[in-house]
Amino acid sequence: MRTQVAIIGAGPSGLLLGQLLHKAGIDAVIVERQSGDYVLGRIRAGVLEQVCIDLLDEAGIGQRMHQEGLVHGGFDMLFKGERHRIDMNRLTGGKNVMVYGQTEVTRDLMDARQAAGLTTIYEAGKVSVHGFDTNKPRVRYEKDGQTHEIECDFIAGCDGFHGVCRASVPDGAVSEYEKIYPFGWLGVLSETPPVHHELIYVNSTRGFALCSQRSATRSRYYLQVPLTDKVEAWSDDAFWNELRLRLDAGGRDKLVTGPSIEKSIAPLRSFVAEPMRFGRMFLAGDAAHIVPPTGAKGLNLAATDVKYLSGAFIEFYAEKSEAGIDTYSERCLKRIWRAERFSWWFTSLMHHFPENGPIGQKLQDAELDYIVHSETGARSVAENYVGLPLDFGT
């Protein structure tokens, strides 16, 4: 098989890249080791920045997002038993975010790709990448007991943190930066109305909590738990009881509980790989970087990578220019490190770190008090949360 761009990974970043290239008349094949149902079954984040919203519109798949997505102009920060609203819309000159599940983004992209008759190879085994340091890169995989090879001009590694693309880079060619946090998020999805119309970020001496939603009837809640905890040890009743203990009185009164339809524990890490280009292979999304979910940056950073990468490929084929390809890694990493900084700072601010002792909690309280009583402090949080402009600092 021959294609212009071979995309490894059929998550939202790979599908979005494929859709943008299709709109530009560039042929791309997507190779995914899991089934389509498995990909859709992954429950992930759902807060979209304007840059991501605009890109989904550009890809032509934003109609359902605008119909069903929930526009949020702010969020609450709860600490010392009191809630304080960060008015993002006012503080950023009219910017908002949209709550629309990553699963729904993936579904919309899958439907568009299928409707266009584009090639996606699911359940591809033993995927490997070859020759990306030459002008003739190749992708090999096994399917139905046979080995197949795709010849291409470029390889896009959108295959996640544990994917084959970054793992195939020669030793010494990539630098990795990582911080592992000593806790995880226990998440519950339930068919219950949200406790609040906007998100509530909770700093509690019992640990962090987040009250989020996917729709007016579906809620998503998280609790900070030790990495040693097992999801099987948390019954639904235990989860709801612990969440009540971390909420304020108003939240407890409005909390509607019910059976969980999904429950999992996700570890938290900060991770960046540099560079993001290796000859004719490019990393995008989780293959190159991971952020703690506190700042809601994961999907949005992946979308920005895809924006830069699709633009670079379009420029290459339309103008025979490699300028976008040559600057891809540098442009992405500048934005990535800013998002990593905010996610690390917000995680450090909102979570409970017993090892920091009583002074750690006092310092968090003082920082939170400054943010909610300072226009400058609140604006800094709001600007970073809605997403810095693409041309910020250029």
Choice among 100, 141, 181, 201 that is catalytic: 201
From 40, 352, 337, 341, select the one nearest 185 (Cα to Cα). 352
Q: Where are the domains of the chain?
A: 5-71+96-177+269-354
pLDDT of residue 386: 95
The yes-or-no answer on residue 385 being catalytic is yes
As a dihedral over the C-alpha atoms of residue 9, residue 294, residue 333, residue 153, rounded to 10 degrees, the angle is: 10
CA distance 356 to 85: 27
pLDDT reported for residue 393: 63
How far is residue 55's CA from residue 51's CA, in Å, rounded to a whole number?
6
The predicted pLDDT at position 46 comes to 84
What is the spatial distance between Cα 390 and Cα 331, in angstroms, rounded to a whole number? 10
Q: Is 297 a catalytic residue?
A: yes
Give catalytic status of residue 72 as yes or no. yes
β-bridge pairing 138-143 and 125-130: antiparallel
Query: Is 259 an annotated catalytic residue?
Result: no
- pLDDT tens for the chain, 394 residues long, are 999 999 999 999 999 999 999 999 999 999 999 999 999 887 677 899 999 999 999 999 999 999 999 999 999 999 999 999 999 999 999 999 999 988 999 999 999 999 999 999 999 999 999 999 999 999 999 999 999 999 999 999 999 999 999 999 999 999 999 999 999 999 999 999 999 999 999 999 999 999 999 888 999 999 999 999 999 999 999 999 999 999 999 999 999 999 999 999 999 999 999 999 999 999 999 999 999 999 899 999 999 999 999 999 999 999 999 999 999 999 999 999 999 999 999 999 999 998 999 999 999 999 999 999 999 999 999 999 999 988 776 6
CB half-sphere exposure, 266, CA atoms < 13 A: 19
Eight-state DSSP code of residue 316? H
What CATH class has 5-71+96-177+269-354?
Answer: alpha beta
Tell me what pLDDT residue 101 has.
Answer: 87
Chain segment 13-29, per-residue pLDDT in tens: 999 999 999 999 999 99
Residue 389's pLDDT is 84
For residue 165, the surrounding DSSP H or E stretch is: helix 164-167
Q: Which residue has the tokens 């994961």?
A: 298
Q: What is the pLDDT of residue 394?
A: 60
**Catalytic annotation present for 362:** no
Active site residue: 100, 308, 328, 385, which one? 385
Contact 112, 61 (CB under 8 A): yes
Q: What is the pTM of this model?
A: 0.94
Give me the catalytic one of 221, 293, 308, 351: 293
